[in-house]
Amino acid sequence: MSLSRRGLLSLAMALPAGRALARMTAPSALIMGTGRPGGYYALYGAKWGELAQSAAGIDIAFRASGGAAADILLIEQNTTQLGMTTLVVAEQARNGVGAWTAGVKFQEFRALFPMFPSVLQIISPRPTGITTLAGLAGQVVGIGPDGSTGATAVPSILASVGVLPKASMTGDYVSQVQDMLAGRIAACAFIGAPPLPAIAAAAMGRKLSLIGFSEDEARQVARTSPGMTSMLLVAGVLPGLTTAVGSVGTVNFAIGAASLPDAQVSALTLAALRNQPALAALVPAAGAAPDAGPIMRAGIPFHPGAAAALRSLGLDIPDEAVQG
């Protein structure tokens, strides 16, 4: 998912004028951007859409996308109305930083509700001998689909700790894992809820090294990449992982177009948060109590309809954190 710099600038200038008119009516059907196979957005998004249909009668169609950055771009293009993203990518979008934004500050997406945390998972087959971040220097590393959090953030994360791979390659999770196992790339560095399905499948019956971060390295990433923070890959989260491994991660949350009607967004939010066990059956990390704090502290505004739904569930969403 990509746009030229001129296209991004035209988009940023054209969209706000039609927002008030668009919010007057609810679309008969919505389109949701989802991630690629081998990641969790495709699973979570499909289930969320199913819950929205059964709980609120909202019809949702799905469009496969690269993930966090691609979903923001699709909403900005008015090609989709719903999607999912991460805090590190959303901060780049709102502030117009990161090469993928072309300097444009994206303003048409709104936070709906927190979903689950994602952690950077870096794996390499044991025969490569790569067991540390330093070992990735000069290697070819897979970073996930174009438009994903990994493709957007991993190169700068590695650079912040002084690691410069020979190349950072993008591609679908499953195909990149297959390339790694075939020796065509040295490692995969994906950001997703652990265990990312493609990584869990690769770890079954194979000896892989899970490459972690020291406390100092994790703090350096948090300083240089807003939206990233220290996290742990706990023992047992991957086959053969018997001790916790330090890493860095971010927060996933649902997003929607600013133009969506409040009542519809409220229903979409409640459909997910009132049915967390169903979502957690597919994405275990989605079972935790929702925490809107990181999204608010980052300055990502909530949609008014989402804020009303979150408040009805007992979450404190101040007025200054809401933008129509």
pLDDT attached to residue 27? 58
pLDDT in tens, 23-68: 545 556 899 999 888 889 999 999 999 999 999 999 999 999 999 9
pLDDT in tens, 143-183: 999 999 999 999 999 999 999 999 999 999 999 999 999 99
The answer to whether residue 319 scores a pLDDT higher than 80 is yes
Range in 41-45, 103-107, 197-201, 310-314 the model is least confident about: 197-201
Give the domain range for residue 47.
Answer: 5-116+251-321
pLDDT in tens, 175-226: 999 999 999 999 999 999 998 889 988 888 788 999 999 999 999 999 999 9
User: Where is the domain boundary, 217, 250, 283?
Assistant: 250
Task: Give the CATH number, domain containing residue 152.
Answer: 3.40.190.10
How far, in Å, are 61, 98, 106, 112, 314 from residue 307 at the CA level? 24, 28, 20, 8, 11
Distance CA 18, CA 212 (A): 46
Let me know: does 294 contact 87? Beta carbons within 8 Å.
yes
Rounded average pLDDT over 117-127 = 96
Distance CA 185, CA 300 (A): 36
Rounded average pLDDT over 295-320 = 98
How far, in Å, are 51, 109, 285 from residue 279 at the CA level? 9, 23, 9
User: Where is the domain boundary, 231, 250, 269?
Assistant: 250
Place of tokens 């967390």: 276
Taking the CA of residue 104 as centre, how many other CA atoms within 13 Å lie in the half-sphere pointing to its CB?
24
Q: What's the gap between Cα 312 and its chain centre?
A: 26
pLDDT attached to residue 28? 67
Check whether residue 158 and residue 238 sit in a common domain. Answer: yes
Return the higher-pLDDT residue of 6 and 35.
35
How many independent structural domains does the chain possess?
2
Let me know: does 198 contact 208? Beta carbons within 8 Å.
no
Distance CA 107, CA 19 (A): 11
